[in-house]
Amino acid sequence: MSVTTFLTRTHGRGRLDWTDWLSYAYLLVGLFTMFAPILWLVMSSFKTESAIGQFPPTFLPYSQKSVTVQGHEKPLPLFLTKTESGELREMAQVRRIGIMATMVDPAKPETEIRVNINDRKPINELQFAGNNYTDLFGKFSFGKYLWNSVFITVVATLLTLLINSMAAFALSKYQFRGQKAVFMLIIATLMIPPTIILVPVFLVINSVGLLNSLWGVILPAIATPTGVFLLRQYMLTIPDELLEAARMDHASEWRIYWKIILPLSAPALAVLAIFSVMWRWNDFLLPLIVLSKPEFFTLQLALNSFQGELNTQWHYLLAMTVITLIPITLVFAFLQKYITTGIASAGVK
């Protein structure tokens, strides 16, 4: 079967009609709209400070070439210059006063000529400013922010998995008095977004002395109702006979939970883990309230505070932004299937 037959196989009719072309056009526009801004971000993050300030901006990170000239300490910027004789030469600029620039031939540094600034054009080359990224760790305690985010995300996810699965286990495999009420209560919590209890949550965290502590951001977030619901739904499908057999084998309940329920719930745990990583990595409002000392900032808080202070240092800000979005992009690239199936099944709720 030819390639064209394969490509035009739509509608079961074997012919592409205008609605198909329109659909693909729409999808391409969507692709551009969704990814072009991110691509622009990444490209810009590699621009040097001077290139960032250029207007109009270029797509690729170009920066003006510079050359070391004998007799001058710092490298001099290179221009394509029109000399008095009318020929175009590559010359380095020593200084510029007003509309006149003093240029030298890099090979013959003694001969200086003066030209009008309009007679020269900067020579650009591709320059990837990797130092935007490396400087972050040196100058800006970026490593600390990264560590804070990672710590919060990992610890919170582990704890979330632990206590949510314990609760889901209790609600799916046991019958105890008040069980239904507990379940209803947990579901009701789904309807209470954190935004409406900001002030008292702040009080509680303060009262237990967890203000300006990473634990103050971890602990309030780990009892997710979505997680309990998801895991419970999954655990309901584990046959009760397995537990009964284990009990006959004198296994304690904790052992049953740890050795039987948890391993069997691995797929649901994986989905919850991905969600939890997403939620905790992207958390903003609660950390904003709880963490006011810079050494405790997460990446998100750091990004926010930097764009206030360092409004002009976009090259660093952009690099930070790119680093912040890498982990979630990796999760997306490798685990997309888990995420979409997890949402589709949760959406059925």
Partner 1 sequence: MATLDLQRIVKSFDATTILHGIDLAVKDGEFVVFVGPSGCGKSTLLRVIAGLEAPTSGDIRIDGQNVNDISAAHRGCSMVFQSYALYPHMSVYDNMAFGLENIGVPKAQIESKVSAAATLLRLGELLQRKPTQLSGGQRQRVAIGRSIVREPKLFLFDEPLSNLDAELRVSMRAEIRELHARLKATMVYVTHDQVEAMTMADKIVVLRAGKVEQVGAPLELYNRPLNTFVAGFIGSPRMNFLPVALLPDEARQGGHALVPQGTHTIGLRPEHAQIANDGPIAMQVSSVEQLGSTSLLHGKVGADTPFEMVLNGQTSTRGGDTVRLGLSTAHLHCFDSQGLRL
Partner 2 sequence: MHWLTRLMGIFFNLFEPLFRLGQRVLGVSRIGWLFVAPNLMVFGLFTFLPILINFVYAATGGVKLMPFERPFTGVENFGILFECRNYFDIQTCRKDVFWRAIFNTAKFSVIQVVLMVGFSLVTALVLNRKIIGRGFWRGVFFYPVLLSPVVVALIWKWLLQSQGVFNAALVATGNEPIGWLTDAGWAFFWTVFVSIWAHMGFYTLILLAGLQAIPKDMYEAAEMDAASPWRTLRRITLPLLMPNLIVVLVLAMIRAVQIFDEVFVLTGGGPGSATTFIVQFIYQTGFAEQIHLYGLAAAASLVLALGLMLLTFVQLRLTKASEAGQRAR
Residues 181-200 that bind partner 2 (CB under 8 A): 182, 185-186, 189, 191-193, 195-200
Residue closer to partner 1, measured from CB, 13 or 349: 13
| Contacting partner 2 within 196-225 (CB under 8 A) | 196-206, 208, 219-220, 222-223
1 is a contact residue toward partner 1 (CB under 8 A): yes
202 binds, among partner 1, partner 2, none (CB under 5 to 8 A by kind): partner 2
DSSP tag of 211: T
284 is a contact residue toward partner 2 (CB under 8 A): yes
Q: How far is the CB of 237 from partner 2 (least distance, A)?
A: 18
* b/e 169-206 (16+ beta carbons within 10 angstroms → b): bbbbbeeeeeeeeebeebeeeeeeeeeeeeeebeeebe
Residue closer to partner 2, measured from CB, 38 or 80: 38
- Comparing C-alpha atoms, which of 288, 240, 205, 98 is closest to residue 248? 240
Count of CB atoms within 10 A of residue 57's CB? 14
247 binds, among partner 2, partner 1, none (CB under 5 to 8 A by kind): partner 2
223 binds, among partner 2, partner 1, none (CB under 5 to 8 A by kind): partner 2
Identity at 319, one-letter amino acid code: A
193 binds, among partner 2, partner 1, none (CB under 5 to 8 A by kind): partner 2
236 is a contact residue toward partner 2 (CB under 8 A): no
21 is a contact residue toward partner 2 (CB under 8 A): no
12 is a contact residue toward partner 1 (CB under 8 A): yes
- 79 within 8 A of 122, measured Cβ to Cβ: yes
Q: Which range of residues in 61-69, 74-82, 107-115, 327-335 is near partner 2 by CB under 8 A?
A: 327-335
189 binds, among partner 1, partner 2, none (CB under 5 to 8 A by kind): partner 2
Q: What does 121-160 look like in DSSP terms, one character per residue?
A: EE-EEE---THHHHHHHHHS-HHHHHHHHHHHHHHHHHHH
13 is a contact residue toward partner 1 (CB under 8 A): yes
User: Under DSSP, is residue 86 helix (H, G, I), strand (E, B) or coil?
Assistant: coil
263 is a contact residue toward partner 2 (CB under 8 A): no
Identity at 169, one-letter amino acid code: F
Q: Which range of residues in 12-20, 86-94, 95-103, 306-314 is near partner 1 by CB under 8 A?
A: 12-20
Among 1, 3, 34, 99, binds partner 2 (CB under 8 A): 34
Length, in residues, of the chain: 349
As a whole number of angstroms, the distance between CA 216 and CA 200 comes to 14
Residues near partner 1, by CB under 8 A: 1, 12-14
